[in-house]
Amino acid sequence: MTTSAIRFPNESEEYRAARDRLLEAEIALRKQIADVAAMRGQLPMGGAVEDYAFDEIVDGVVKETRLSDLFAPDKDTLILYSYMYGPDNPSPCPMCTGILDGLNGQAHHLSQRVNVAVVGKSPAQRLQTWADGRAWNHLRLLSSEKNGYHDDYFGQTSDGMQMPMCNVFQKTPNGVRHFYGSEMLYAGLEGDPRHMDLMFPLWNFFDLTPEGRGTDWYPSLSYE
């Protein structure tokens, strides 16, 4: 069994034995996460992607931005998160909003290697107004109001219900291709599919605590 070289103050033998068992499981989990990431990285190229025309607010004006425009000259990968904020939703999804609060702080780091953007089905100005209210200053926000992106890449159901989907695209010499989608959401699992766990550190922090993530707490849009 793997054991730790450190000891915490006043810990009991019972605690240390349980902690060593947990440590061994944590090391196995880390290896499995790395193995799954390697499998993901070895996926063959997905299907060809339409060069969707999105609306984007630039210098206060709505402009057309193509999917191909989202790739910086030196970066061939795009992470595109579907924000659950459709035109019929009075307010956006609190869970998605929590994810994007964190992503806004990480986006300038991520952009050193990949392209990152967020797409919602609401009009561009509605998305931008909400983003401004939350001081999202590092997120590129797009509206798919006038195209079929949300339908094609499972950001909404056939009846318009918004879904929290993350897709990854690659630019190739033959156009943009799909690489990955967080399709565990659609795998028919019982309960919360937790398909965004690795991308939403909030839950991982809760998992470090005796209380865990629980079953009766949900992020809020405001705590005032």
The structural domain count of the chain equals: 2
- What residues pair up with 181 in beta bridges, in sequence order? 167
pLDDT tens profile 141-184: 999 999 999 999 999 999 999 999 999 999 999 999 999 999 98
Q: Looking at the structure, do residues 71 and 127 belong to the same domain, yes or no?
A: yes
Among 7-11, 180-184, 199-203, which stretch is predicted with the lowest mean pLDDT? 199-203
Angstrom distance (rounded) from CA 224 to CA 220: 10
143 lies in some domain: yes
179 lies in some domain: yes
pLDDT tens profile 88-102: 999 999 999 999 999
202 lies in some domain: no
193 lies in some domain: no
Domain that includes residue 82, residue range: 53-184
Q: Looking at the structure, do residues 85 and 171 belong to the same domain, yes or no?
A: yes
Mean pLDDT estimate for the chain: 94
Q: Looking at the structure, do residues 95 and 145 belong to the same domain, yes or no?
A: yes
User: Does residue 40 contact residue 46 with C-beta atoms inside 8 Å?
Assistant: no
**What is the reported pLDDT for 17?**
93
Q: Looking at the structure, do residues 90 and 108 belong to the same domain, yes or no?
A: yes
Q: Looking at the structure, do residues 98 and 142 belong to the same domain, yes or no?
A: yes
**Mean pLDDT, residues 174-202 taken together:** 88
Q: Looking at the structure, do residues 26 and 128 belong to the same domain, yes or no?
A: no
Q: Given a cut of 90, is residue 224 above it in pLDDT?
A: no
Phi, psi of 46 (to 5 degrees): -80, -165
The DSSP line for the chain is: ----S---TT--HHHHHHHHHHHHHHHHHHHHHHHHHHHHHTPPP--B----EEEEEETTEEEEEEGGGGS-TT--EEEEEEES--TT-SS--HHHHHHHHHHHHHHHHHTTTSEEEEEESS-HHHHHHHHHHTT--S--EEE-TTSSHHHHTTSB-TT--B---EEEEEEETTEEEEEEE-GGGGS--SS---TTGGG-HHHHHHTTSTT-S-SS----S---
At 22, is the pLDDT very low, low, confident or very high (cuts 50, 70, 90)? very high
Structure tokens at 38: 């390697």
Q: Looking at the structure, do residues 29 and 100 belong to the same domain, yes or no?
A: no
Q: Looking at the structure, do residues 79 and 180 belong to the same domain, yes or no?
A: yes
215 lies in some domain: no
Q: Looking at the structure, do residues 21 and 106 belong to the same domain, yes or no?
A: no
**Mean pLDDT, residues 183-196 taken together:** 84
25 lies in some domain: yes
**Mean pLDDT, residues 186-214 taken together:** 85
Q: Looking at the structure, do residues 72 and 171 belong to the same domain, yes or no?
A: yes
Q: Looking at the structure, do residues 170 and 83 belong to the same domain, yes or no?
A: yes
Query: How many other CB atoms are found less than 10 A from the CB of residue 126?
Result: 18
Whole-angstrom Cα Rg for the chain: 20
**What is the reported pLDDT for 151?**
97
